[in-house]
Structure 1
């Protein structure tokens, strides 16, 4: 009775059947960071002018905030998500890749002069196309900044 155990006997672990799931570590949620600032408008004293006292004196409309995103989301999708969640006013025109941000926190283009308006950067770079065209990637850092001088006051080069 020197028989060796045969493969498939009770000493081997059963394999899961097709309808069983094997638990694996949950994938981490994909996030980006977003911030909104109007420091240039504050530096130019816009908050001292009538009708602009609602602007934060430090220029920070939204501190850096981590936001989960879905595959295919754009910078615009992230902005909509965060402004709705935080109750921050945001107005835009157009759609898709032609979406243009007119105002955030009741601060609009041209409020700070003829060369003023909202610009966005991703990872420190100011893209040359609209917020609805830029698809975000995990760990991107998005910043919306108000400019009073076509981006020169932000260190952004505009073509």
Structure 2
């Protein structure tokens, strides 16, 4: 009986020891806090799990890495949103409306002075471009408008550039000095002749440009 009693006691002690060992490595406590002690406490789904030091350390490191990745992604997302906001808030550049007309009607009154080979380029009514309205950037020049119209209507524009500015040689194959030695292109803005080269005169919204070919002094009215 004594031997049997000893065996039972030994088995009981072993069972208690095994239960304590299991409890040491996997005790669950419901909590929202995160603490680490010698046994290695970590949080899993709102519960604290007691594990050995190596397992706890690895899990905590994984959580730190995950949090760092999430913070980085959030920062990148915020930067993208800020950049998009800046682009959207950038104001559009102001545009203005300018009307322009081009004609060579004076040549019709001086056909005897017209050089050979140019008669086919002269419109019957003398109008090369009837009045059109174009949109250009604010503070554009007369030349800017003419170049814009040239791109749309293919006016075969010929320009001479020098230290004094730009000079319009020809429009639609009608060139300077083809109808007298003083003949050439002149422009007016709102029926006034600015006396500036076309590349320096700045326009305002609603301005009206007229390009006209002159054959003789004072023939443009």
Task: Provide structure 1 residue ranges, at least 5 long, that are not aligned to the other structure.
Answer: 1-18
2:95/2:138 contact within 8 Å kept = no
Structure 1 counterpart of 2:126, from 39, 55, 59: 59
Moved over 4 A (4+): 26-29, 46-49
Residue-by-residue CA offset, 1:20-42 (whole Å, 9 max, x unaligned): x8xxxx99952000010000012
Deviation at 1:115, TM superposition (A): 1.2
Alignment-derived partner of residue 102 in structure 1: 169
Distance verdict in 2 for CA 1:31–1:103, change over 3 Å:
same
Residue-by-residue CA offset, 1:64-93 (whole Å, 9 max, x unaligned): 000101022100010011011101111011
Secondary structure of the 1:69 match is strand
Alignment-derived partner of residue 89 in structure 1: 156
Alignment-derived partner of residue 154 in structure 1: 220
Alignment-derived partner of residue 123 in structure 1: 190
Alpha-carbon distance between aligned partners in 1 of 2:114 and 2:216, rounded to the nearest angstrom: 19
Alpha-carbon distance between aligned partners in 2 of 1:76 and 1:127, rounded to the nearest angstrom: 13
Task: Provide structure 2 residue ranges, at least 5 long, that are not aligned to the other structure.
Answer: 1-84
1:47/1:55 contact within 8 Å kept = no
1:38 aligns with 2:38: no
Aligned residues: 134
Alignment-derived partner of residue 146 in structure 2: 79
1:47/1:54 contact within 8 Å kept = no
Normalising by structure 1, report the TM-score: 0.75
Alpha-carbon distance between aligned partners in 1 of 2:113 and 2:134, rounded to the nearest angstrom: 29
Higher relative contact order (CA 8 A, sep 6+): 1
Secondary structure of the 1:82 match is helix
- How large is the RMSD of aligned CA atoms in angstroms? 2.7
Q: Determine which structure has the larger helix proportion and give its number.
A: 2
